[in-house]
Chains A and B, each alone.
Chain A
């Protein structure tokens, strides 16, 4: 059974100049179209955020179990699944964002990649390197490093939890029989 509570180190994806969360990160900034021919997930990790100013070295810094926090409209743009899979390849276990592009959301949920919509993301007292605990079912967040509870995120929907627990959309179909 996949865990309903995740713990991990946070990366807050901010603009290096303003220190503010970057909004509207599109799929070309996440995973540039120059690498679309890659089909093996293991090879996609090295290109994550490869076209996002200030974050090109993210694949070198990120580790297994990390959690990525982004601004609004994350993953807008094309329908490429690579933009979800590159994070799975790096072992990123959760993406939290103010909001997601519709197709990105669909792709992430279908592939069993946990994502949380976090309307209050701008007000959350977290910084890169903090350890956080996230309850996917309730949307509760706690900053373990500071000991503080944070404003709630939108909890997983039933559908999202069904697919996540099964593994992905196709595994869920098999579970239905």
Chain B
């Protein structure tokens, strides 16, 4: 019987027979912990395996991205506990300057198509962007993974979604995933993998794939897995990486097969406090914006921030609106600097911070206050997640357009310039 992508990836990493519902041991290509929960991973490891070594320091990483640099004593102490453990074990730390761990892994080629990655980040299933198995887990599980290089996993069923039709700029991958999320609902793919197909999906570049995969968690999915395109495979081959990209068998068995028509899809937005409560932006009543956040593992790439700068260039942020831009990684930040993009943002009145999780993690670049309306390019707008205000989720295009007009209910087409 044929297998889905996730079934084949797991089968390539286990001696057990893989089928949905079965629990199997899998070999892990990457085991990671971030500053959130990292200290508990270390404490668990030292309690249960005192004086012992991690299975393979070359496959084990710390990635600090939540509170960078630490602005609470608790975070500072936790980060330093991880650093000391890492030095002793010979583990590489992507420290407070490096940016979002999942993006570091994706862009440095630690995560590869067909691979397996675990860590303490609940959005680590973002690895599905390149056809890689990624999964966030608790600190006991990750301590065990550090020690053994393995974890167990219940093989999920897979839903196949085919997207019919295409869209053009200013609609982006973010609008596509917000639309799909609205159709699926918060528990629409609970405990399952989702494979995406269709002409538009084939066309998505790495950045849009990251955006789409980063919101699988918001529909309850184990992961959204996108079959790697030639462009994705070339990206990692050019790095000199060796890997086996995995594709579904033609006779793979899916628990459900869905089709969505997106011809001419308009920009979408998620209303607070539910990421799956999505509507076309132009159907919202006029809403005044107090703040804008552009960044996160969903939309913090070079491409995103370049889009923001293209829209904001030569214009000013609306009076009274606070606009915060957080590049995903140090590498992104460097390119933005080199290409004069940070200068453009600065001149239009934007706050640009050092790389990291930014608005999604308390502390790095401020939170919203009571009654504050924020438009954010991130993936979650639950009550309290980004402060006590109201957070709308949208694309970088919509967020940037709103920064200029000071209102959400603005048709992006009126203010954007063509790419």
Q: Show the binding face of A for B, using Cβ within 8 Å.
A: 79, 102, 105-106, 109-110, 157-160, 163, 169-170, 173-174, 176
* CB nearest neighbor in A for B150: A176
Chain A residues contacting B144 (CB-CB under 8 Å) are 110, 169-170, 173
A159 to B152, CA, bound (A): 7
Give A163's nearest chain B residue, CB to CB.
B152
Q: Are A176 and B148 in contact (CB under 8 A)?
A: yes
Per DSSP, are chain A's interface residues mostly helix, strand or loop, or mixed? helix
Contact with A along B137-167 (1 / 0, CB 8 A): 0101101100110001010000000000000
The CA of A109 and the CA of B48, in the complex, are separated in Å by: 17
Could you name 8 residue pairs across A and B whose Cβ atoms are closer than 8 Å? A79-B138, A106-B138, A157-B22, A159-B152, A163-B152, A169-B144, A174-B48, A174-B49
Contact of B147 among A157, A158, A159, A173 (CB under 8 A): A173
The answer for the CA separation of A109 and B152 in the assembled complex, in Å, is 10
CB-CB under 8 A for A110 and B48, given A159-B23, A173-B147 = no
Q: A102-B191, A160-B23, A174-B49 are in contact. Are A110 and B140 (CB under 8 A)?
A: yes
Q: Which residue of B lies closest to A79 (CB)?
A: B138
Spell out B's residues near A (CB within 8 Å).
16, 22-25, 44, 48-49, 138, 140-141, 143-144, 147-148, 152, 154, 191
Closest chain-A Cβ to B17's Cβ sits at a distance in Å of 10
Identify the closest chain A residue to B21 (Cβ). Answer: A154
| A-B pairs with lowest CB-CB distance, top 8 | A157-B23, A170-B48, A159-B152, A159-B23, A173-B147, A169-B144, A173-B148, A102-B191
- With a CB–CB cut-off of 8 A, which chain A residues contact B22? 157
Provided the pairs A105-B154, A170-B48, A174-B49 are in contact, do residues A158 and B16 lie with their beta carbons within 8 angstroms?
A: yes
Q: Is the CB of B49 within 8 A of A173?
A: yes
Nearest-neighbour CB distance to chain B for A12, whole angstroms, equals 25
Q: In the complex, what distance in Å separates the CA atom of A108 from the CA atom of B140?
A: 12
Q: Tell me the complex Cα distance, A106–B141, Å.
A: 9
| CA gap between A105 and B152 in the complex, in Å | 12
**For residue B154, which residues in chain A have a CB less than 8 angstroms away from its CB?**
102, 105
Smallest CB–CB gap between B64 and chain A, Å? 22
Contact A159 B25 (CB under 8 A): yes
Complex interface: chain A residues within 8 A of B140 (CB)? 110, 169-170
Across-interface contacts of B138 in A (CB, < 8 A) = 79, 106
Contacts of A176 in B (CB 8 A): 148
Contacts A79-B138, A173-B48; is A159 near B24 (CB within 8 Å)?
yes
Shortest Cβ distance from A156 into B: residue: B23
Which chain B residues lie closer than 8 Å to A110 at the CB level?
Answer: 140-141, 144
Given contacts A102-B191, A159-B16, 8 further A-B pairs with CB under 8 A are A79-B138, A106-B141, A157-B23, A159-B24, A159-B25, A159-B152, A173-B48, A173-B148
List chain B residues, Cβ under 8 A from A158.
16, 23
Residues from chain B with a CB closer than 8 A to the CB of A170 are 44, 48-49, 140, 143-144
In whole angstroms, what is the CA distance A158 to B144 when docked?
A: 18
Instruction: Say how far A34's CB is from chain B's closest CB, in angstroms.
Output: 19
Which residues of B are found within 8 Å of A109, using beta-carbon distances? 23, 152
On chain A, the residues within 8 Å of B141 by CB distance are 106, 110, 169
Q: Closest CB-CB distance, B353 to chain A, in whole Å?
A: 30
- Taken together as a complex, chains A and B put the C-alpha atoms of A11 and B150 apart, in Å, by 36
Cα separation A31 to B44 with both chains bound (whole Å): 23
Of chain A, the residue at the smallest CB distance from B145 is: A173
Closest chain B residue to A154 by CB distance?
Answer: B21
CA distance A170 to B154 in the complex (A): 19
Nearest CB on A from B28, distance (A): 13
A160 to B23, CA, bound (A): 8
Residues of chain B lying within 8 A (CB to CB) of residue A169: 140-141, 144
Complex Cα gap A105–B140 (Å): 14
**Interchain CA distance A67-B329 in the complex, whole Å:** 51
